[in-house]
Amino acid sequence: MNKLTFILLFILFAFFACQQEPAKLWDSPDAYLGQTPPSDTPKVFAPGILAEKGAWAGDRVAFSDDGKEFYYSHNNTWFDGKNLKVKYLKYANGKWNGPYVLTEKYYAPTFSPDGKTMYFIGGPDKVPGKDFVWQAHRTDTGWTAPVEYMHKPYRLYDFMPTISGNMYAGSNGNWGTRDWRNCKFSRIDASKGDTAIRSLGVPLNSPGFNGDFFVAKDESYMIISAKEHPDFECELYISYHKQDDTWTNPKSLGPLINNGLAHRWGEYVSPDGKYLFYTHGHSEKDCFIFWVRFDTLFEKLKHTNFEPYVKNPIKDQSAKAGSSFSFQIPGDTFFDDDGINRLTFSVGQLPEGLKFDTITKTITGNPVKPGKYEVEITATDTAMATVSAKLKVSVN
């Protein structure tokens, strides 16, 4: 074999080897670490591949836009960060390679919208009650070492950037206490500078911890961990971004995902929009990354009923026994994302001498006995979904 023939054969071999790399990995059997995709029933993702013995893999994960890189958090315990790592696998030469350690002491990896920067929280100088945001930049050979990107006197839990430049986090910002239980789903508006963090308010936020979430790059929807108990048990819900820059009342992702009590967090939707990933467990011992078909569920949920919610609490009222009393339910007390005019109203036990008009939504009459009363007012939509608010009346 002469030298020219050898060179030509080598070039052809290299060409065909490169051709074996799928042009679009998402559409190949090797996508998602080569795992068999789930249906609408969640299942454990990549069992036996991600976690070392005695450790767990989870929190929010991240795929690169081309699907050839997968990043996740790895630790021995839920709360002690001394063994915390970000690990990754990479698809090259027709196979997945890894897992490898990318960084230590960081977690919650998330890509910038252009994929050139990766953000983390945690870090070697982590202070209890605060979440520093760090960033690393992509290079020809991998990633730079993380450097501090944002350092605030409040939490920036689960930090995520978006295409618009807005940044989302679970934060106790500039309101209330610095206790983690006061965290609210929040946004830093790009147009107002990074000091303009604000809570996204109701109905997205509810009493207690609001911090685990995923927001779409275009900010069209958020998936949140909702109804969180003190022992971290919670469910996954979805909320849609409205044109007036508010968010819809979150909808449950359904019983197949929210089956039974468990901590569910680290929600993440793959870049192709097909699958939802989340971490599920009761402790480190049974904590796993799950995945489930999401694009079909996403379309289905668009056409289901929004439950009404209490937008503004009712102010306490006072009355005088034997004197005329009148109270009309304020129009901004309840809200229904399907249309406010679809609601009907009812009340619970009223103080003696008072009655309720369902048409005018007004309580009127002459209260008879002095005392402190609490009246339950209920709004019902056409799908028979209900929500109640309390009216406190002091009769003197």
- The lowest-confidence range among 10-19, 106-115, 131-140, 143-152 is 10-19
**Quick one: average pLDDT of 262-274?**
97
**What's the confidence (pLDDT) of residue 7?**
41
Taken in order of first residue, the domains within the chain and their CATH numbers are 29-302 (2.115.10), 309-395 (2.60.40.10)
Q: What percentage of residues in the chain have a pLDDT greater than 90?
A: 77
**Quick one: average pLDDT of 53-59?**
92
Q: Is the pLDDT of residue 68 over 90?
A: yes
Q: Compute the distance between CA of residue 188 and CA of residue 156 in angstroms, rounded to an integer.
A: 10
Q: Is the pLDDT of residue 296 over 70?
A: yes
State pLDDT tens for residues 322-367. Answer: 999 999 999 999 999 998 668 999 999 999 999 999 999 999 999 9
Averaged pLDDT score across all residues of the chain: 90
Q: Residue 182: which pLDDT band, with cuts at 50, 70 and 90?
A: confident
Single out the residue of 237, 177, 178 nearest to residue 206, CA to CA: 237
Q: Residue 107: which pLDDT band, with cuts at 50, 70 and 90?
A: very high
Q: Which of 1-5, 178-182, 377-381 holds the top average pLDDT?
A: 377-381
Q: Is the pLDDT of residue 21 over 90?
A: no
The CA–CA distances, whole Å, from 48 to 55, 57, 67, 86, 193 equal: 11, 10, 20, 17, 44
**What's the confidence (pLDDT) of residue 176?**
58
- Tokens representing 42 are 């969640």
**Quick one: average pLDDT of 158-187?**
85
Judge if pTM exceeds 0.85. yes
State pLDDT tens for residues 159-170. Answer: 999 999 999 999
Q: Is the pLDDT of residue 10 over 70?
A: no
Q: Is the pLDDT of residue 127 over 50?
A: yes
**What's the confidence (pLDDT) of residue 18?**
41
CA 218 vs. chain centroid, Å, equals: 15
- Tokens representing 162 are 């978006």
Q: Is the Cβ–Cβ distance between 287 and 58 less than 8 Å?
A: yes
Q: Is the pLDDT of residue 292 over 60?
A: yes
**What's the confidence (pLDDT) of residue 376?**
98
CA 182 vs. chain centroid, Å, equals: 16
Q: Compute the distance between CA of residue 36 and CA of residue 28 in angstroms, rounded to an integer.
A: 11
**What's the confidence (pLDDT) of residue 129?**
56
Asked, as a colleague might, if the bond just before 203 is cis with ω within 30 of 0, I would say yes
Q: Is the pLDDT of residue 282 over 60?
A: yes
**What's the confidence (pLDDT) of residue 339?**
80
